[in-house]
Amino acid sequence: MLSFDGELSEQHKQEMQKHGNFSQENIADHYNELSSHYEEIYLRAGWHDPLKCAELAKTCMGDIAESAVVLDMGCGTGLVGKYLVERGFKEIVGVDASAGMLEKARSKGSYTELQELFLGLPDTFPENLHNRFDIITASGILAEGHLDNKVFDEMLMALKTGGYAIFATRTMYLTQYNYIEKITELEKDGKWKLVHDVTFDRYDKLEEEVGRFKKVEAKAFAYQKL
């Protein structure tokens, strides 16, 4: 089991301060560099989003988790996949823009399929991912310098009717990057409905602010496609 324990060294803190100083144009290069020490830093800081997404996936699927087909969007080093397997999920597809992160995910042995993919482009979202999944998970992609709210359209494209889109983000980002505007619009249009949400603290292991990182409120949601 991956540990959330241990102190952050000064080197860890320096690496954390680099995170966020990038744009969509260099996001893959950024995460390729970060992949070698991503988990070592962020689990120690209190990065609970992957676990919360996996827990909600289990809540939604219950005893039929084993038969569910999951798409992990922005799978990174494979933390969500690892936690899903621990909860009985067996068929998990992961996509990410970073080859380095995908290599780390592959080493965990949790994914049945991995694909290098830039998300947030609904017009070119791969046909082989359409209407295929019972669960979508997304941990870490709704953030500064990452994806805008068009990624929610891709979630709906990928889900089967009745499937669940599960994602986590800082509470402040919901309004700052217009995520809640799109989420609410899709709900009003009858595309999906909220079935679960949880509030939790992110980076709660930090004793002091590190660059732009400090203890913040975060939320995880499960929306069911109608």
- Give Cβ neighbours of residue 106 (< 8 Å, ≥ 6 apart): 78, 114
25 pLDDT band, cuts 50/70/90, is: low
174-188, pLDDT tens digit by residue? Answer: 999 999 999 999 999
Task: Kindly state the DSSP code that residue 9 receives in the 8-state scheme.
Answer: P
Task: Kindly state the DSSP code that residue 110 receives in the 8-state scheme.
Answer: -
**How much is the pTM?**
0.87
Helix (H, G, I), strand (E, B) or coil at 172: helix
Q: How distant is the alpha carbon of residue 204 from its chain centre?
A: 18
126-161, pLDDT tens digit by residue? Answer: 999 999 999 999 998 998 767 899 999 999 999 999
Distance in angstroms (rounded) separating the CA atoms of residues 113 and 75: 11
- Tell me the residue type at 179: Y
Maximum average pLDDT range among 15-19, 40-44, 115-119, 201-205: 115-119
**Helix ranges restricted to H, 109-213:** 151-158, 171-176, 179-188
Locate 117 and state its tokens: 């993919």
Report the pLDDT value the prediction gives residue 40, as an integer from 0 to 100. Answer: 73
Beta strands in the chain (DSSP E): 69-73, 91-96, 113-116, 133-139, 159-170, 192-202, 216-225
Contact between residue 193 and residue 137 where contact means Cβ atoms under 8 Å apart: no
Locate 131 and state its tokens: 């209407």
64-105, pLDDT tens digit by residue? Answer: 999 999 999 999 999 999 999 999 999 999 999 888 889 999
Average pLDDT over residues 37-51: 80
Report all structural domains of the chain as residue ranges with CATH numbers, in order of start. Answer: 10-225 (3.40.50.150)
Report the pLDDT value the prediction gives residue 83, as an integer from 0 to 100. Answer: 97
The answer for 6, left when phi > 0, alpha when psi is -120 to 50, beta otherwise, is left
Report the pLDDT value the prediction gives residue 13, as an integer from 0 to 100. Answer: 58
